């Protein structure tokens, strides 16, 4: 049962981080003004929709493990290690950098969290975390490619 508690803690952290990052990405989608508007507006929408689907998978996995998933904005902000923006970001470069940094943070946390979970007996959670790792790596790569 201890493995499940470790899994739920990891899943809850990732759920909160993903929720905050999804909101940040949607905020940028709404407020973008750029000569690259069409491409970035569409990219941000694709990414926040992908994260929305990932959020659902994470919450459902927590429920499968017999626990309640964090589900309020207050819980997400308390658990998340992704900071909200303090200022309005006005340039597409600032937005892209903030998103790249947030994905880097999630990727690093996922890689760190996976190792101890491999010692347990929760292959379903490990599989989901690897899937989410690949998703965040791809989103990071696409965003980073726009910054060249």
Q: Which tens digits make up the pLDDT trace of 75-134?
A: 999 999 998 887 777 799 999 999 999 999 999 999 999 988 888 889 999 999 999 999
Q: Hey, what are 8's tokens? A: 């739920």
Whole-model pTM: value is 0.93
Residues 45 and 105: beta-carbon distance below 8 Å: no
Axis crossing angle, helix 123-145 with helix 2-31, rounded to the nearest 10: 20
The whole-angstrom separation of Cα 119 and Cα 94 is 40
Q: Hey, what are 31's tokens? A: 């407020």
- Which residues, other chains included, contact 97 with Cβ-Cβ below 8 Å and sequence gap of 6+? 147
Task: Give percent of the chain with pLDDT exceeding 70.
Answer: 98
Could you give all domains of the chain from N- to C-terminal order, each with its CATH number?
A: 2-145 (1.20.1260.10)
The whole-angstrom separation of Cα 105 and Cα 45 is 21
pLDDT at position 86, please?
73
The whole-angstrom separation of Cα 126 and Cα 61 is 11
């Amino acid at each position: 049962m201890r493995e499940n508690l470790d899994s739920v803690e990891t899943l809850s952290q990732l759920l909160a981080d993903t929720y905050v990052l999804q909101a940040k990405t949607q905020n940028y989608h709404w407020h973008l003004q750029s000569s690259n508007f069409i491409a970035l507006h569409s990219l941000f929408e694709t990414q926040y929709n992908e994260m929305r689907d990932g959020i659902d998978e994470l919450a459902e996995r927590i429920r499968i493990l017999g626990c309640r998933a964090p589900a309020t904005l207050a819980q997400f902000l308390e658990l998340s290690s992704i900071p909200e923006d303090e200022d309005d970001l006005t340039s597409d470069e600032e937005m892209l950098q903030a998103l790249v940094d947030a994905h880097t943070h999630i990727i690093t946390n996922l890689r760190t969290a996976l190792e101890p979970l491999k010692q347990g007996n929760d292959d379903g959670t490990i599989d989901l975390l690897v899937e989410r790792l690949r998703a965040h790596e791809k989103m990071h790569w696409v965003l980073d490619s726009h910054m060249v």
